């Protein structure tokens, strides 16, 4: 899995929310399995978009196609992309119980 993380600065957060919702079909076209739009609680013009894809190739194709929909007359065209990065899953080791969150290991309290 690849996680596409996009940090944005926008003038109108409501417009970003509408645009995010309108892209459900486009996200599905590229195999997006999960997505979230987060707004900074201290700065309503700062947002983070998290999108999960089966591969980096599909994530990159989505990013290019998604950006092409923003023309100069689109309100979101004025947004600033601060960063867009791709992150990959770290393969879990079957020998490492910390990586297997479905079976948490009990921890005893430390008594001094």
3-state secondary structure 4-70: EEEEEECCCHHHHHHHHHHCHHHHHHCCCCEEEEEECCCCCCEEEEEEEECCHHHHHHHHHHHHHCC
Q: What are phi and psi of 15, to 5 degrees?
A: -65, -40
Give the pLDDT band of residue 96 (cuts 50, 70, 90). Answer: low
Judged against a pLDDT cut of 80, whether residue 104 lies above it is answered with no
Please give the span between the terminal C-alpha atoms of the chain, in angstroms, as a whole number: 43
Give the pLDDT band of residue 110 (cuts 50, 70, 90). Answer: very low
Question: What does the pLDDT read at residue 92?
Answer: 76
Predicted TM-score (pTM) of the model is 0.70
Domain 2-88 CATH assignment equals 3.30.70.100: yes
Give the pLDDT band of residue 97 (cuts 50, 70, 90). Answer: low
Most confidently predicted of 49-53, 65-69, 102-106? 49-53
Contact 1, 52 (CB under 8 A): yes
């Amino acid at each position: 899995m690849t996680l596409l993380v996009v940090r944005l600065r926008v003038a109108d957060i409501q417009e970003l929310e509408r645009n995010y919702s309108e892209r459900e079909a486009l996200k599905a076209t590229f195999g997006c399995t999960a997505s979230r739009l987060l707004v900074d609680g201290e700065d309503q013009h700062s947002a983070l978009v998290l999108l999960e894809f089966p591969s980096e190739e599909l994530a990159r194709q989505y990013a290019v196609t998604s950006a092409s929909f923003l023309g100069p007359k689109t309100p979101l065209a004025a947004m600033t992309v601060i960063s867009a990065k791709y992150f990959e899953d770290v393969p879990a080791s079957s020998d490492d119980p910390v990586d297997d969150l479905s079976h948490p290991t009990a921890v005893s309290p430390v008594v001094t």
